[in-house]
Structure 1
Amino acid sequence: MQQELPITIVAEGKFSNSLKPLLTQLELWINFQAVKADWYGNEDCILSFDFTLVRTLEEKTPLLTAVSAEGGEGWIVESGYAYHYDSSSLKTIAFIAVNDLIQNGTGIEQAIKDRLTSVANVIGLQHGLLALV
């Protein structure tokens, strides 16, 4: 039986399937960072993250505002990413924007890693976990 990793990364349907190897590499990388930082040492507090790469956050604005308006914990929107943390399930859903990275000609893979760890670290630090690097 294959067990799902606590941190998953997918790309929105508008992206090419040729991204699949990069997504797999990023997913393995961030889960390995979490193992190195002993994030999975306490089985009662296993944080899960569902990351989705999107072109822009603007296209997600209706979802971000609709969920926030429902009265629960809302979405946190930062430059290049947005996330929603559900403390009752220890689950985070996050969107990572990439269009600005492509336009800037930045090292895209490293910039995506930076955004992934930024989201993960905000939540991890709330639980006293070591920061991912």
Structure 2
Amino acid sequence: MTKAEAQTIAELQQGLPITIAADGRFSNSLKPLLTQLEMWLNFQALKADWYGNEDFVLSFDFTLVRSLDEKMQQLKTARAASAESWIVESGYAYHYESSRLTTIAFIAVDDLIQGGVGIEQAIKARLIAVANSVGSKHGFLALS
């Protein structure tokens, strides 16, 4: 095995900097869509050279949730102080921890399901909005 091959394997084992999951209230049948969205968003970040400096890689942990209000209420109940440090917008909420370069984000889908049209595009728009909000703080090119 060459050094480059070993490095590639190590990087794959390390995982992608952007992950997308769904909370336990969703069916496992969403897994292919989540994987597709995850690969798409990581590719957008790669194209915009967000991974150019290995010592400064932003990581994102996205979770699809049914209701943002419900999720934020759970946060307030579980950890009263930390809920205040979340940025809450229409359809998503996130917490960026600058010391670790990590972002935890919730993407709500109930309002999208009710509309019934363009759900995947709307989810992508919310993922991009969170990523760009954090990325812009560090001068990264906007994802599209």
TM-score range, shorter chain: over 0.9
For the 8 Å contact 2:66–2:110, the answer to whether it is kept is yes
Task: Name the one with the larger helix percent.
Answer: 2
2:34 maps to: 23
Runs of 5+ consecutive residues of structure 2 not aligned to the other structure: 1-9
1:97 equivalenced with 2:108 (yes/no): yes
The structure with the largest alpha-carbon Rg is 2
Runs of 5+ consecutive residues of structure 1 not aligned to the other structure: none
Q: Deviations over 1:98-126 (max 9, x none)?
A: 01001012301110000000000000000
Q: Deviations over 1:61-110 (max 9, x none)?
A: 23443588426970000000000000000000000000100101230111
1:85 maps to: 96
1:129 aligns with one of 115, 140, 144: 140
Q: Secondary structure at the match of 1:70?
A: helix
1:34 maps to: 45
Q: Percent identity, aligned pairs only?
A: 71
TM, length-normalised to structure 1: 0.93
Distance in 2, matches of 1:113 and 1:106, equals: 13
For the 8 Å contact 1:6–1:49, the answer to whether it is kept is yes
For the 8 Å contact 2:75–2:83, the answer to whether it is kept is no
Q: Quickly say closer, same or farther: Cα 1:27–1:71, change in 2 above 3 A.
A: closer
TM, length-normalised to structure 2: 0.86
Segments ≥4 residues shifted beyond 4 Å: 66-69
